[in-house]
Structure 1
Amino acid sequence: MAFDLVIKNGLVILPGGEQVVDVAVKDGKIAQIGLDIEAEAAKVVDAKGLIVSPGMIDAHVHISEPGGSIRDHWEGYDTGTRAAAKGGVTSFIEMPLNQIPATVDKESIEKKFAAGDDKLSVDVYSYGGLVPFNLNGGIQELDDNGVVAYKAFVATAGDRSIEGDFMNVDDYSLYEGMRQIAKTGKILSVHAENGPITDKLGQLAQERGEKSLAAYVDSRPVFTEIEPIQKIILFAKETGCRVHIVHVANAEAIDLIHQASSEGVDITCETCTHYLYFYKEELDDIGPVVKCSPPIREKSRLEGMWDRVFDGKVMFVTSDHSPCTPDLKDTDDAFEAWGGISGIQNNVDLLFDEAVQKRGMSLTQFADIIASNVADRFDLAGKGRIEVGYDADFVLIKKDAPYTVKKEELEYRNKISPYIGREIGAQVAGTILRGNEIYNMENGVSDLKIGQFYK
């Protein structure tokens, strides 16, 4: 058989463990895995000295296109998916905000698909929103149009002055939405922070003249994450809805979720790279570029988070890539700054360095937390594993190869990131999507736009 691509000599992360083997690709699929594949190939990639991993599936990404003439200069599909390719992300699941209109029904998801047409460097799956105003048919329309999951905020979300922007749910909307989503069999992912309490604590801090990021963190204490998760667990038991808690930032919440899962509730959680790397005591030295919600917590909590990743209580790690324009970060008042981190380009390299190189995580677990577990949880057929018949999606990782993140090397539309100036001890050497090389260190990001929306 003649293959389209053969990757030779790499240390390949297979479901059963890593091996130095060759991987052959035909028609975008993995066709053969074995030693010394000698068949004719249109292209051969020599991966000697490199780790060959399943490409990352980033389960939490915000693209702001269409921008509704308000967010037109935020992250778009072209730049966002180019950054994904450079960062070793071959697929991502796009959140139903911050585009305008938010993705809450048939009309809005069709506008989203049109906005990204012919702009995708990587594959994109879609979240649909659960909001108080789409309970009369919108949830079913989204199911009919291919969303892989739904997203709701119990924290305050959206701008009520912007027509079509996202909106957080009240208790009834959450309950009724979960009843409807349960009938689809899909997952509801929830941003779990107590909005009324964090809003009031933030207001009081501002009235006292507080402006620091440390004060912002203090206005969103750990219990404000835990309390809504307790409610979500109760609602899940009542409705039978499968649930997932996004960007969990503290160990106590992870333990609560794990306990509920062990008792039969269909619930999982993720954390983000920035919760495993940054810490509260350094935030004000970095500035508002590192502001996010839930907030990054104390240094003393970091290893507790890592322990729970290693223990399997955290199903996967995401970027929560949530960019904005620079002016929204250019303030000395942390409470007024936009809350979101640009991170999709530095997930694979940073996680490999911190998890595998510094803490000894196995390569198979690394592949699980960046790819396999995401595919399993969201039923992404043919994705997330290096196995015959699966999509030929790979990231090639150069280990023990430190470099410093530079602003000019970011592919984002707005080149702001808290990782700028940080040394990372591994590099993404190449990214391959369905057998096509979309990034390598020598040539940069390919201009191929072969990514597709899965509908």
Structure 2
Amino acid sequence: MGEIYDLIVKKGTVVLPGDVVQADVAVRDGKIAAIAADLDAGLAAGTIDADGHLVMAGVIDVHVHFNEPNFGHWEGFATGSAALAAGGCTAYAEMPLNGNPPTVDEDALREKERLAAGHSAVDYAFWGGLVPWNLDRLQELANAGVVGFKAFMSNPGGAGEGRFREVDAATLRAGMERIAALGGLLALHAESDELTFRLAARARAEGRTGARDFADSRPVEAELAAVAEALALAEETGCRLHFVHISSPEAVRLIADARRRGLDVSLETCPHYLTLTVDDMARLGPVAKCAPPLRDAARREGLWASVLEGEVDLIASDHSPCPEEMKAAPGLTFFDAWGGIAGAQNTLELMLEEGWVKRGMSLPALSALLSANPARTFGFYPRKGEIAVGFDADLAIVAQARPRALTRSELRHRHPHSPYIGRHLSCKVVATLCRGITVYTEKEGVVAPAAGRRWRAGAGLAEG
């Protein structure tokens, strides 16, 4: 019998939706064709030895900022997707800021699509934005295949004359009504602008501009107030909601209670809220600055309890990079430094360390948070998100016993600063496959820098 598979990944510890098995995974025409023990290597054109390694569904990171157009010097698709590939990620959804112009109409979306084409190592999708001036452009963005709409309830900062802006209450309500009519999804950065603005202004006026002062200016109460306001509007309008980067167990409970009442609402948290604390932010400085800010250790553990209880839907990196001088230039106060954590490459390895190794979380449950749940929430399922026959062969191959401290030299995003440098990790991504194409190996780096295709909501992957 001649070859019937393009590739067999041999002898891996394969993480399935509900089980972990020792098996081979066969690939044909970019899809998983078989999962079985001891498949004949002679039936494939090539093999990968995964003995002693985890074989997991590729991560789907639905929250990254690559800053195109015109701010690609902050990141860009080539370096951002390279970092994702090196971290076992096989698909991502790119946010509508901080590029200039932001992705708030079809023309801006087309420009971003042009810049991404041929420059992404893994598959990608785009978010559209909801801002005060684009209510009449939401339909065209939906028609063009965005996975959802992103809005801020507090000032997002950012760069450029046409920068992304927060929504006021009237725009938020009107936007929810229109997005509900489109059958779409609204993702929210939920912090009360009234509260954060007032507290930040007071702190600056009093000369309190350190890390803990910044954290105090964006308290959990600001997150809770915005979440409660958004949930009430969702109940009135019927809009499907997704809360990004939730930082506190209190906010998780508010959202979980709303879901139990029947609201169509989901939430994500991020590796930084599950690994770092406000003490780390004070110790490390602006490299660990983000909004909402890092919380105390008790809230970090409370957030883990919510994860383990199944109240958190997914984990995303919120990779928000910038040139290093925007974090570390002489004379910058903590308030003035860029707020965003660069972490696209490390999500899977961090969550294996903190969830599986330290807290005993099952591998199928962890894989659901990183892959299957994002796929289901944002429309990639049933093509992506699981290791199952017929799905895309999107695979992360992970060495189970590769203890090390993360080094700056490993990082593949454009500006290799990170609060995770020096952090102990037990596992290491050694290869990543996107639709059966090997896009990254530990030995060779990114070997298929243009393998990625655009995903359009409702239409799937572009041909190519």
TM-score w.r.t. structure 1 length?
A: 0.97
- Report what 1:51 is aligned to: 54
Contact residue 139 and residue 181 of structure 1 kept, 8 A: yes
Name the residue aligned to 1:309.
307
What is the DSSP-based 3-state SS (H/G/I as helix, E as strand, rest coil) of the residue aligned with 2:388?
Answer: coil
1:66 maps to which residue?
69
Q: Secondary structure at the match of 2:443?
A: coil
Q: Secondary structure, in 3 states, of the residue corresponding to 2:146?
A: coil
Residue matched to 2:460? none
Quote how far apart the aligned CAs of 1:445 are. Answer: 1.8
What amino acid sits opposite 1:287 in the alignment? G
How far off is 1:377 after superposition? Answer: 0.9
* Structure 2 runs not aligned, ≥5 long: 457-464
Equivalent position of 2:113 in the other structure: 113
| Residue deviations 1:23-59 (CA, integer Å, cap 9, x gap) | 1111111111112111521210111111111000011
* Equivalence for 1:442: 443
Q: Which runs of 4+ in 1 moved over 6 A?
A: none
Q: Does 1:373 align with 2:376?
A: no
Residue 443 (structure 1) shift: 1.6
Instruction: State the shift of 1:429 in Å.
Output: 1.5
SS in 1 for 2:135: coil
Cα distance 1:448–1:220, how it changes in 2: closer, same or farther (>3 A)?
Answer: closer
**What corresponds to 2:140 in structure 1?**
141
Q: Distance in 1 between matches of 2:211 and 2:89?
A: 30
Gaps of 5+ in 1: none
Q: After TM superposition, give the deviation of residue 164 of structure 1 in Å.
A: 2.6
Cα deviation, residue 158, structure 1: 4.1
1:5 aligned residue:
7
How many Å apart are 1:211 and its aligned residue? 2.2
Aligned residue number for residue 18 of structure 2: 16
1:157 matched to 2:156: yes
Matches within 5 A, 1:182-331: 182-331=180-329
Aligned residues of 2:31 and 2:392 also touching (Cα < 8 A) = yes
| Pair 290,195 (structure 1): closer, same or farther in 2 beyond 3 Å | same
Deviations 1:175-210 (A, max 9, x none): 111111112212111000001210121111111111
Q: Tell me, what secondary structure is at the counterpart of 1:12? A: strand
Match of 2:170 among 172, 179, 185: 172
Does 1:432 pair with 2:433?
Answer: yes
Other-structure match for 1:78: 78
Name the residue aligned to 2:409: 408
Structure 1 pair 365–102 and aligned structure 2 pair: CA distance change class (3 A): same
Maintained 8 Å contact 2:440/2:448: no
Q: Given residue 190 of structure 2, which amino acid in structure 1 is its aligned partner?
A: A
User: Alpha-carbon deviation of 1:298?
Assistant: 0.6
Answer yes or no: is the 8 Å Cα contact 2:119–2:449 preserved in 1.
Answer: no
Q: Which amino acid aligns with 1:365?
A: A
Alpha-carbon separation, structure 2, partners of 1:175 and 1:431:
42
SS in structure 2 of the partner of residue 345 of structure 1? coil
Structure 1 distance, partners of 2:60, 2:5, is: 25
CA distance in 2, matches of 1:194, 1:403: 40
Q: Distance in 2 between matches of 1:374 and 1:221?
A: 28
Deviation at 1:448, TM superposition (A): 3.6
1:353 corresponding residue in structure 2: 353
- Tell me, in whole angstroms, the C-alpha distance in 1 between the residues paired with 2:157 and 2:294: 21
Q: Partners of 2:450 and 2:43 in 1: how far apart?
A: 26
Q: Aligned letter for 2:401?
A: D
Worse overlay, 40-49 or 289-298: 40-49
Deviations 1:101-129 (A, max 9, x none): 11111101000001112101011111110
Aligned-pair identity (%)? 42
Partner residue, 1:344: 344
Q: Indicate conservation of the 8 Å contact 1:64/1:98, yes or no.
A: yes
**What's the CA shift for 1:163?**
3.1
Q: Determine the C-alpha separation between the residues in 1 that align with 2:389 and 2:67.
A: 35
Once the two structures are superposed, residues 200-233 of structure 1 have per-residue CA deviations (whole angstroms, 9 ceiling, x without a partner) of 2111111111121111101111110001111111
In 1, Cα distance between the equivalents of 2:434 and 2:335?
A: 40
Question: Take 1:203 and 1:262, find their aligned partners in 2: how far apart are those partners?
Answer: 38
Q: Per-residue deviation at 1:269? A: 0.7
The separation in 2 between residues aligned to 1:234 and 1:397, in whole angstroms, is 43
Q: Which residue of 2 aligns with 1:421?
A: 422
Amino acid at match of 2:140: E
Q: Secondary structure at the match of 2:345?
A: helix
Paired amino acid for 2:257: Q
CA deviation vs aligned residue, 1:117-142 (integer Å, no higher than 9, x gap):
21010111111101111112x10011
Structure 2 length-normalised TM: 0.95
Name the count of aligned residue pairs.
450
